[in-house]
Structure 1
Amino acid sequence: MEAISSDTQSAAAADGGFNVLTPEAWKALLSPYSHIVLVANSEAVDFGRLRSELPETALYVFFNNVYKVLDEPFAGHAVLIARSGVMGANIVHRREVVDVLRFFAGDDFLGVVNIRVSPEENFSDESGFKGARTRHLDLTQMLGDLYPVDKIATSGFAMALWLAELQLPGKILLAGFSAKRSEKWKVFDVHDWTFEQIFLRLFARMGTISMMGGVDVSPYAALAKRFPQVPPIEIAMTAAEVLSERLHNANGQIDRLMSVTKSIRAIEGFFRRFKPKTRKQRFLEKSKE
């Protein structure tokens, strides 16, 4: 499968020397694929099922630290999404580019897409990606009035929304988007996981995207089948009532835990003051001078 032509690349918009493609160029690059599969860094990803059910014309979209889901080099069409932070692409300033790119090789690898989703995030130059073909994608305007205030969208959510708006001929499939913390990998509180899951599941029920390994079937669909005489809004309100009571009870237990661990947290806070500053903290302090 051919990558985007050099003529189309030269027609791409340029912004400060970064390779920022036009929407038309992105469509030309991605339209040949029958499926666009967004692979979350999650233990919920079932690669055996993905590879057995999808054709070879599928494009797999990986994110940042792919060693969380890959044990060996990936054989298939792939692209790597490199999320930016205030210091540039995270895998660049953390010096993880070599560790990540070793999972991809050959003509089937489309390269790296360095994305930013908020004004505080900054792109990295192509030179930081150790020779990999690099494109840049700015999603700040798309998410500006949509995402909850004081939270930052995950890369997977941002890409799913952007791909849906491109209206590609191929199907968009999300793999492993469960938003659940596992024993091995955590989820970060800077993202609004509840909002994202609601948004993505509505997208899935509208048929805009498909989801695998997270929300194959709604557990409440069985209630609608068992009580066809009950309006859907009543089922939703009853479910919300039960969930509200369970959340209230859980908050009571959390309050007790906070009280019991007060002395432990005080000791931890004391020793944290002696922890050396990270490179990111030093960078932010220097940028304010």
Structure 2
Amino acid sequence: MNRLPSDPDGWAGFFSRHRTVVLVANSEAANVEALRESFGDGVLFVFFNKVYKVLKAPFDGPSLLVARSSIAGANIVHRREVETVCGYFEGPGFSGILNLKALAAERFSEARDFGERSVGHLDLAADFADFYPPDYAPTTGFALALWLSERCGGLRIVLAGFSAERSERWKLFHDHDWTFEQIVLRLMARSGRIEMRGGREATPLDRIAARFPEVPPAEVALVAAEVLAARQEGTNRSVDRLYSIVRPLAGLDGLLRRLKPKTRKEKLAESGR
């Protein structure tokens, strides 16, 4: 297995060797079997972190696993899931592991922490420092998709299952700004920088614009924003009334959370490591 790079230029060269790169989200909207039937040779499938959410059996095609870091190192390392996750990629088409960070506070894991596998690192913290909304962290797939579109010109980038929707089995974490990411991804898709498969059906605004072709799309968007703003204001008033009712419960919840033992990640954050 070839050694993987640990610098942006090296990774740009790695991805550019492929005709198409398919990023597979850990979502029920991603159908891996259907994706493999849709694409021919020269396609690299990129998976993320807890791949058992989307893979039911080992994947034997050209593949790369992206392991996201946190302040405690790569998540699959400190959760002791390396062997479980990598067990889905034992074939010759497996390129190895890309350990990625997108925030300055996140810390890489050593290559040896991933066992006898080819490992490379990619630091994208500077790429999102002045772009992504503060107090949130970019999702791994979003960070890589945006970076690929900007660094690998001519590469066909396909996003599969990037729906940003909670399912019955898997939840969404509030650590990420899902609305911001969907806006950026849909703009990228409309401009042709990426393609989106699964989880991206025509929106009501798309259907309205198609029904009234004589109305400029910008006018449709402006009217929609006006309506949404009015409805949001009504929702805010309802939330304020509701919060006045549940405020005592919120205080009790805060007390119970303070009594709960801190996780290793929380202790590392407080220590500033």
Q: TM-score, normalised by structure 2?
A: 0.91
Q: CA deviation at 1:161?
A: 0.9
Q: CA deviation at 1:285?
A: 3.7
Q: CA deviation at 1:286?
A: 4.0
Instruction: Trace 1:256-271 onto structure 2 (pairs within 5 A).
Output: 256-271=241-256
- C-alpha change, 1:234 and 1:169, in structure 2 (3 Å) is closer
**2:97–2:118 Cα contact (<8 Å) kept:** yes
Partner residue in 1 for 2:209: 224
Give RMSD over aligned pairs: 2.1
Q: CA deviation at 1:203?
A: 0.7
Partner residue in 2 for 1:16: none
Partner residue in 1 for 2:225: 240
Partner residue in 2 for 1:194: 179
Larger displacement relative to structure 2 (268-277 or 122-131): 268-277
Determine whether 1:53 maps to 2:38.
yes
Provide, for residues 223-280 of structure 1, a one-character-per-residue CA deviation record: whole Å limited to 9, x for no partner.
Answer: 2232222222221111112222332333344334434433433333333233222111
Determine whether 1:152 maps to 2:120.
no
Determine whether 1:135 maps to 2:120.
yes
**1:30–1:168 Cα contact (<8 Å) kept:** no
Instruction: Trace 1:74-153 onto structure 2 (pairs within 5 A).
Output: 74-153=59-138
Determine whether 1:20 maps to 2:9.
no
**2:60–2:91 Cα contact (<8 Å) kept:** no
**1:56–1:76 Cα contact (<8 Å) kept:** no
Pairing partner for 2:260 from 275, 279, 288:
275
- SS at 2:208's partner residue? helix
**2:64–2:98 Cα contact (<8 Å) kept:** yes
**2:101–2:124 Cα contact (<8 Å) kept:** yes
Provide, for residues 153-210 of structure 1, a one-character-per-residue CA deviation record: whole Å limited to 9, x for no partner.
Answer: 1111110011112225431001111111222222222222111111111111110100
Q: CA deviation at 1:134?
A: 0.4
- SS at 2:83's partner residue? helix
Question: Unmatched 5+ residue regions in structure 2?
Answer: none
Provide, for residues 204-223 of structure 1, a one-character-per-residue CA deviation record: whole Å limited to 9, x for no partner.
Answer: 11101000112243432222
**1:27–1:168 Cα contact (<8 Å) kept:** no
Overall identity of the aligned pairs, in %: 47
- SS at 2:44's partner residue? strand
Pairing partner for 2:24 from 17, 27, 39:
39
- SS at 1:187's partner residue? coil
Partner residue in 1 for 2:191: 206
- SS at 1:60's partner residue? strand
Provide, for residues 1-20 of structure 1, a one-character-per-residue CA deviation record: whole Å limited to 9, x for no partner.
Answer: xx76x6xx6xxxxxxxxx51
Pairing partner for 2:14 from 29, 34, 51:
29
Partner residue in 2 for 1:172: 157
**2:32–2:55 Cα contact (<8 Å) kept:** no
Which structure has more relative contact order (CA 8 Å, sep 6+)? It is 2
* CA–CA distance in structure 2, aligned partners of residues 247 and 49 of structure 1: 39
- SS at 1:106's partner residue? coil
* CA–CA distance in structure 2, aligned partners of residues 72 and 137 of structure 1: 28
* CA–CA distance in structure 2, aligned partners of residues 286 and 31 of structure 1: 40
Q: TM-score, normalised by structure 1?
A: 0.86
Q: CA deviation at 1:141?
A: 1.7
Q: CA deviation at 1:21?
A: 3.2
**What is the number of residues matched between the two proteins?**
273
